[in-house]
């Protein structure tokens, strides 16, 4: 990876959708296919380059629907770019902030099952995530929860147990804070804390001073944390949290074992999360005027690129039609030639073979045409959806302007 120019040639940045302590995430569109994706931009600092290469190596090799899909990656002297699938619902933490509420037990259970599937995949491939929390669980339009942000993840060598401090303090288990050996079990502990975070809005001990909170977590004598009010939650979910927060790491259940628990028997679909994502995507309640403008501008640019792609595909369909007409003309001319050489058996056999090939190619072009026309129809629908979104945003902006004028009128009085 020597240059990020190829990424910028292929993708157009639309808007910034997230920012961390050292990286930013941008919504982007593939200029050739119209696919929406997310691009993570990280300043290229040599001290952290190995960690970034490790992150790219881990996600690029993951083939699991519950892990964010890697699309491309590159780096230069200035920055590292990681292109990933776009999850329109953002993170679980984003969803709770946007809707100003926590998750209910059904939503928690669906997300929990998906995350456990992702962790089971990682652990079975000797990888530890090391930073499981609501901010690192992303939701797509189908309601599927996916593990993301592998910035501190690493391959796990069963013969070389880890002991360095990793992850986010309030989510890490006692063995990590006590500088003891750890392995896959740390992800299960962090998942238990994340369940509480999804239910209460914050991890346990978040109201304490930092060192006091860590002291509580490190204390093996204290019982494991739970929801602020456990009586409000199903008993099997409360028990599940306690199972994840087993302080003896050697007794902590694996992701695969936890997936067999009775709590998941009632999870039949991801519809509850799909509805949640739809609500998040349509909500503008907590958006500032600047963010609304950013979304408007993003939708406008996306629409322009989709229109360009649509026009390009349309031209291809026209060219295919012309080629098909040429083949049909050639086919007719060839049949006339065949009539004139009936006495020459060898030539006739050869000509029929060529005609068969031409017919097969013509049929293949017909199929290509049908596929391109289907794609055009999808792009038309997407363009229509974007126009509707732009209309809604325009109406919202008009409403804001009317309110501002009303306020100015009242002030002048």
pLDDT tier, 393 (very low <50, low <70, confident <90, very high otherwise): confident
Residue 156 pLDDT: 43
Q: How far is CA 19 from CA 22, 27, 51, 89, 313, in A?
A: 8, 12, 18, 16, 35
Given 120, 131, 149, 187, the catalytic residue = 131
CA distance 220 to 61: 37
- Residue 343 pLDDT greater than 50, yes or no: yes
What's the mean pLDDT in 325-346? 73
- Residue 99 pLDDT greater than 70, yes or no: yes
The H or E element that residue 26 is part of is: strand 24-30
Query: Does residue 259 contact residue 115 with C-beta atoms inside 8 Å?
Result: no
Q: What would you report as the CA-atom Rg of the chain, rounded to the nearest whole angstrom?
A: 28
- To the query of whether residue 399 is one of the catalytic residues in this protein, the response is no
- Residue 226 pLDDT greater than 90, yes or no: yes
Query: Can you point out the beta strands (E) in 247-349?
Result: none
Query: Does residue 91 contact residue 134 with C-beta atoms inside 8 Å?
Result: yes
The pLDDT tens digits of the residues spanning 263-303 come to 999 888 999 999 999 999 887 555 555 665 566 566 777 67
Q: What percent of the chain has pLDDT over 70?
A: 84
Q: Which domains does the chain have, with CATH numbers?
A: 1-86 (3.30.200.20), 87-273 (1.10.510.10)
What's the mean pLDDT in 358-364? 87
Query: Can you point out the beta strands (E) in 248-380?
Result: none
Weakest-pLDDT range from 160-169, 193-202, 223-232? 160-169
Weakest-pLDDT range from 54-58, 134-138, 173-177, 240-244? 54-58
CA distance 1 to 11: 17
Neighbours of 79 (CB within 10 A): 18
Query: Does residue 71 contact residue 84 with C-beta atoms inside 8 Å?
Result: yes
Tokens read off for 161: 């147990």
- Residue 227 pLDDT greater than 90, yes or no: yes
Q: Give 278 or 352, the one with higher predicted confidence.
A: 278
The pLDDT tens digits of the residues spanning 177-219 come to 988 988 899 999 999 999 999 999 999 999 999 999 999 999 8
Give the long-range contacts of residues 62-65, CB within 8 A, separation 24 or more.
62/121, 62/122, 62/125, 64/117, 64/118, 64/121, 64/122, 65/117, 65/144, 65/146
Contacts of 206 (CB under 8 A, 6+ apart): 170, 213
Contacts of 253 (CB under 8 A, 6+ apart): 188, 243, 244, 246
Tokens 């890490």: give the residue: 172
**Would the annotation count 274 as a binding residue?**
no
Provide the residue count of the chain: 413
For residue 354, the cross-strand partners are none
Taking phi over 0 as left and psi of -120 to 50 as alpha, with beta for the rest, 149 belongs to left
Query: Does residue 89 contact residue 95 with C-beta atoms inside 8 Å?
Result: yes
Q: Give 341 or 171, the one with higher predicted confidence.
A: 171
Closest CA to 81 of 25, 20, 121: 25
Q: What is the mean pLDDT of the chain?
A: 84
What's the predicted TM-score (pTM) here?
0.68
């Amino acid at each position: 990876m020597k240059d990020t120019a190829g990424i910028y040639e292929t993708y157009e940045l639309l808007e910034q959708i997230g920012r961390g302590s050292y990286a930013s995430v941008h919504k982007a569109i593939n200029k050739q296919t119209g696919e929406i994706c997310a691009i993570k931009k990280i300043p290229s600092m040599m001290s952290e380059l190995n960690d970034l290469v490790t992150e790219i190596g881990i996600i690029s090799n993951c083939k699991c629907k519950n892990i964010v899909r890697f699309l491309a990656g590159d780096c230069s002297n200035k920055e590292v770019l990681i292109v990933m699938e776009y999850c329109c619902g953002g993170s679980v933490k984003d969803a709770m902030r946007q809707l100003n509420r926590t998750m209910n037990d059904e939503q928690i259970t669906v997300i929990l099952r998906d995350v456990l599937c992702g962790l089971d995949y990682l652990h079975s491939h000797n990888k530890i995530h090391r930073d499981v929390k609501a901010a690192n669980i992303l939701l797509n339009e189908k309601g599927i929860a996916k593990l993301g942000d592998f910035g501190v993840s690493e391959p796990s060598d069963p013969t070389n147990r880890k002991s360095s401090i990793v992850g986010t303090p309030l989510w890490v288990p006692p063995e990590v804070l006590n500088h003891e050996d750890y392995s896959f079990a740390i992800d299960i502990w962090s998942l238990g804390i994340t369940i509480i975070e999804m239910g209460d809005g914050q991890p346990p001990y978040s109201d304490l001073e930092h060192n006091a909170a860590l002291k509580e977590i490190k204390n093996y004598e204290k019982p494991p944390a739970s929801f602020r009010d456990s009586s409000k939650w199903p008993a099997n979910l409360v028990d599940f949290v306690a199972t994840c927060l087993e302080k003896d790491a050697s007794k902590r259940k694996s992701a695969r074992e936890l997936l067999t628990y009775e709590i998941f028997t009632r999870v039949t679909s991801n519809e509850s999360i799909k509805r949640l994502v739809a609500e998040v995507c349509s909500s503008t309640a907590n958006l500032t005027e600047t963010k609304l403008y950013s979304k408007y501008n993003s939708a406008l640019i996306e629409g322009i690129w989709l229109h360009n792609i649509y026009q390009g595909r349309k031209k291809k369909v026209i060219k295919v039609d012309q080629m098909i007409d040429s083949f049909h003309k050639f086919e007719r001319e060839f049949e006339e030639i065949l009539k004139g050489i009936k006495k020459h058996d060898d030539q006739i056999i050869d000509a029929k073979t060529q005609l068969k090939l031409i017919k097969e190619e013509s049929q293949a072009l017909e199929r290509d045409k049908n596929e391109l026309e289907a794609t055009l129809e999808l792009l038309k629908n997407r363009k229509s959806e974007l126009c509707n979104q732009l209309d809604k945003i325009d109406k919202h902006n008009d409403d804001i302007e009317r309110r501002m004028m009303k306020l100015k009128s009242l002030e002048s009085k």
